[in-house]
Amino acid sequence: MRAYHIESAGKNPIVTSLPRPTPTTGEIAVEIGACGLNFADLLMVKGDYQDTPAAPFTLGMEVAGTVTDLGPETTGPAPGTRVAVFGGQGGLAEHGCFPAERAVAIPDDMSFTDAAAFQIAYGTSHVALDHRAKLQPGETLLVLGAAGGVGLTAVEIGKLMGAKVIACARGPEKLDVARQAGADHLIDAKTQDIREACKDLGGLDVVYDPVGGDQFKAAFRACNPEARLLPIGFASGDVPQIPANHLLVKNLTVMGLYWGGYLKFRPEVITESMQTLLHWYSEGRLTPHVSHVLPLERADEGLELLRTRRSTGKVVITMED
């Protein structure tokens, strides 16, 4: 089978031929239709991600496809079931073996492209805003990086939850994507003062931040008393240092969110969240935004789109030629 593989630490991934894997106990074999790219894939290439596997390994954290076989003592999902799986690795290949407990059956009308773009982006935003921040109707939510993979879903979900959503992104094209996702107000991070713009809109109750750096600092200073701040990631490369004395003065709460971490200590949080999200999708209330769909041979190009921030929403790799 073809796979986008890292042979050893420090080497760049390449498309190569590997033996088709066989599922072990507790695993399912999946014929992969599509795999969503994530910023974490870029970090894995450099060895900087918190869950980077030991080399050799195949990149690709989230996939959609069809179950083809079950490992020993594995009861399902049955062969023929269409599933989405967060495997953490192994997704950028024609076939893969993944823990059966992580497989989620997807609706018949959900394409593999949509399903591969769904779990991490929507899951992260829903768990962050609902389970962690407990976003309430009428509150003001600022989404930084609002046209990116997770940011755009935070705009969409925040609006569904009844918040007033402020979307912050770089440039009019990206802001228009956020507007179409439901944003009430737009801030251009290239030309506007984020702090002043947010204060002019009444201040912030919840901040959703996959960017970090100066944007986090500006948002922090525009928070209302008892606001909640959610560091999701640090696409800027700058991990901000949080002044604890300012937390005290305004009674602010900073709460980290690593979606994949719940698989290890509270998997029911992800299971219940995904049930809600798939229900919303089936009702037509969620519309995954995929700016680029590329074949496996162009996986390098897909990662470069993420690295240079030229994509909006998700980039998805398909296994078709």
pLDDT band at 321 (very low <50, low <70, confident <90, very high): low
Task: Express each pLDDT in 54-69 by its tens digit.
Answer: 999 999 999 999 999 9
8 Å CB contact between 318 and 112: yes
Which of the listed CATH numbers 3.30.70.2190, 3.90.180.10, 1.20.1630.10, 3.40.50.1820 matches domain 2-118+288-318? 3.90.180.10
Compare 184 and 50 and report the one with higher pLDDT: 184
**CA 142 and chain centroid, separation:** 17
Give span(s): CATH 3.90.180.10, the chain.
Answer: 2-118+288-318
At what angle are helices 39-46 and 299-307 packed, to 10 degrees? 100
State residue 143 phi and psi, 5-degree precision.
Answer: -110, 115
8 Å CB contact between 5 and 58: yes
Task: Express each pLDDT in 24-52 by its tens digit.
Answer: 999 999 999 999 999 999 999 999 888 89
Q: Which amino acid is at 281?
A: Y
Arithmetic mean of pLDDT, 131-139: 98
Q: How many whole angstroms separate alpha carbon 190 and alpha carbon 80?
A: 48
Q: How many whole angstroms separate alpha carbon 203 and alpha carbon 191?
A: 19
Tokens of 306: 């993420």
Give span(s): CATH 3.40.50.720, the chain.
Answer: 124-259
**Cα Rg of the chain, angstroms:** 20
**CA 191 and chain centroid, separation:** 27
Q: How many whole angstroms separate alpha carbon 138 and alpha carbon 257?
A: 23
Calculate what percentage of the chain has a pLDDT beyond 90.
92
8 Å CB contact between 269 and 262: yes
Q: Which CATH architecture has domain 124-259?
A: 3-Layer(aba) Sandwich (3.40)
| pLDDT attached to residue 10 | 83
Task: Express each pLDDT in 247-273 by its tens digit.
Answer: 999 999 999 999 989 988 999 999 899
The pTM assigned to this predicted structure is 0.91
